[in-house]
Structure 1
Amino acid sequence: MNAVRGFSMAVIVAALAVPQAAAAELPEPVRAMIDAAISSGDEGKVRIVAELARTTNPSDIAEIDAIVATFEANVAARKAAEAEARQAALREADLFDNWSGKGELGGFRATGNSSNTGLTAGLTVDRQGIAWRHRLTGRVDYQRANGTTTREQFLARYEPNVNVSDNFYVYALAQYERDRFQGFSGRYAISGGMGYQALKGEDVQLSVKAGPAYRVTEFIDGREESRIAGLVALDFDWNITERLKLTQDTNAVAETGGSAVAIIDSRNTSIDLITGLDATIAKSLKARFSYAVEYDSNPPPGAVQTDTLSRVTLIYDF
């Protein structure tokens, strides 16, 4: 019996004397795969690769989590530094800095007060500050055949706005239109009011705005009307895919594809609806198809209430 006890104690002592196996390290191929994803800078790719590594190496989850946590901390720090650099650049910019824009050229097909096909051109420039934004827009639709002008529509617009909170902003608007075939040689409108950013996701954005307006219309027969009005507008953008975008934007945001705006007074209500579909061709080049409905509830004598415009254009961002 003593011999048995002696043997058991010897076995226990020997077992305690054997060094414990070191904790397993993440296999080199797995670590290389995670490092490659991190090197790409693609956060989505890192998350996918890390999840696969956790599934196939459950004993190394803690190490994988530590690697991902370090990557995410570095990304957050970089984004914060970039945001601060952008804010500093905006604060130090002068009047001629931070402007961007887009030029548009193509053709249109009109029905309503005129039925023809012609050329359309547009230009939008935009300056974004810390709280302020300025946007200027111009557009021309023109057609001439056999020495006679059959379509001549001009639009010029300026809109500044300022953010007052994360979701609310104050806007102002000054606009000029000319369309002899709709019965006016000049139509001027000014407006100001509040806007609300209802949705501002990565793929879907929606804002609405409303305010009082004052409009002066100069008719081709020499008459002139001045009226107090109200403006209601909607701005919607939906990135369907990386290369395809549906837009339904406010008049004050100058047809980035579509618009919906109503100017309402006691005598004549004007509604502009423009829906567009943008397809990216290259980094700075897009193709656009848009369909516009322009409605005046009380048009001048001889004019009809509704005009439509179908446009196919190329847009260059700069």
Structure 2
Amino acid sequence: MRIWIVPLLAVVAAPALAKPIPSAVAAMIEAARNDPAKLAVVAEMARATNPGSVREINARIAAINADRARAREQALAEQRYYEGWKGSGEVGGFASSGNTNTQGVALGVNLSKETRQWKHAARGFVDYQRQDGVVSRERYLASYQGNYNINPSMFSLLAVSYEKDEFSGFEHRFSQSLGIGQKLVAGPRLLATVEGGPALRQTQFTDGLNETNFAARVAGNVRWQLSERLKLTEDASYFYDGNNNSLQALTALNAKINGSLTARLSHQINTESNPPLGRRNSDQVSRGTIVYSF
């Protein structure tokens, strides 16, 4: 009788075997293999509708993520300096309130590249309006930021930018900053980072004054994949120099039309704590644009 006790106890104590992943569900997972955000959504649906296969689903997702990480690491290691660049071009209209109340065109371009240690990002943007032969709004922005990976969640950074916006009170402004960044959340659907460090700013105001000030820079970025086609982004930076503090905040809702085209609605706030006499502290710009990714 005792001969059967041990095997019987082993059978009773053993966990129930996981059910195989249904073929239709496995096909959905494989179809989303190359899109992390879509894969996360599919995985959630698969677990909810197939509770008996959760262990197998988790193992399949983990294997896909590991394969993607290995392939990405190999691709980054082999690419040359002119390879791996991605970008987008943006065009559309805007309506502004504050120092100006106009409608006009908005043009932008973004470039980015990742290596095993670095992430490079360059941006250029123009808001321009000319009415009855008179320029009523003219804002130019060009920026570059390089992030050096210290570990998977922390990076050091170098950021430089050039701005021109007479309607906010300055002819030219150059900013240079060093700092440290930290990823607060780094999931397949949500990415949130915060940055901070010292900065130097050189400003030529429209009233003829020139200033060079040391400042502190704080910035934050959020990328939230709401669904397969909808993404919400937030980019904000704040410079504190004790004399004229500046805030820029850009919120955008992106709706993917197809593989290359995205419709974007955005709202930008620019504030200057101590603008020249006759200038308002804040400008707000709402835009509707079409973005082409390449």
For residue 164 of structure 1, what is the aligned residue in structure 2?
A: 150
Selected match of 1:182 from 164, 168, 171: 168
Selected match of 2:261 from 281, 285, 288: 285
Larger mean Cα displacement after TM superposition, 238-247 or 172-181: 238-247
Selected match of 1:244 from 211, 225, 230: 230
For residue 205 of structure 1, what is the aligned residue in structure 2?
A: 191
- Give yes or no for contact 1:34–1:49 (8 Å, CA) kept in 2: no
TM-fit CA distance, 1:291: 1.2
Q: 1:205 to 1:80 in 2, by over 3 A?
A: closer
Selected match of 1:234 from 220, 228, 250: 220
Q: 1-side partners of 2:130 and 2:153: how far apart?
A: 46
- Give yes or no for contact 1:34–1:46 (8 Å, CA) kept in 2: no
Selected match of 1:313 from 276, 289, 292: 289
- Give yes or no for contact 2:206–2:276 (8 Å, CA) kept in 1: no
**Structure 2 unaligned blocks of 5 or more:** 1-18, 31-41
Q: 1:49 to 1:189 in 2, by over 3 A?
A: closer
- Give yes or no for contact 1:160–1:171 (8 Å, CA) kept in 2: yes
CA deviation string 1:28-85 (max 9, x = no partner): xx99x9344434444747656754xx6xxxxxxxxx89xx85x876765555344323
The residue matched to 2:26 in structure 1 has which SS?
Answer: helix
Q: Provide the TM-score with structure 1 as the length reference.
A: 0.76
For residues 1-318 of structure 1, the aligned pairs below 5 Å read 34-42=22-30, 44=43, 51=51, 69=56, 76-77=62-63, 79-249=65-235, 260-318=236-294
- Give yes or no for contact 1:213–1:229 (8 Å, CA) kept in 2: yes
Q: 1:239 to 1:221 in 2, by over 3 A?
A: same
Q: 1-side partners of 2:58 and 2:46: how far apart?
A: 10
RMSD: 2.4
Q: Provide the TM-score with structure 2 as the length reference.
A: 0.82
The residue matched to 2:151 in structure 1 has which SS?
Answer: coil
Q: Which has the higher contact order (CA 8 A, sep 6+)?
A: 2
Report the structure number with the largest CA radius of gyration.
Answer: 1
Q: 1:73 to 1:139 in 2, by over 3 A?
A: same
The residue matched to 1:164 in structure 2 has which SS?
Answer: strand
CA deviation string 1:150-175 (max 9, x = no partner): 11100000100111112111011000
Seq. identity, %? 36
Q: 1-side partners of 2:27 and 2:263: how far apart?
A: 34
TM-fit CA distance, 1:131: 1.8
The residue matched to 1:268 in structure 2 has which SS?
Answer: coil
Q: Say how many residue pairs are matched.
A: 264
Q: 1-side partners of 2:288 and 2:134: how far apart?
A: 24
CA deviation string 1:127-157 (max 9, x = no partner): 0111210011000000001111111100000
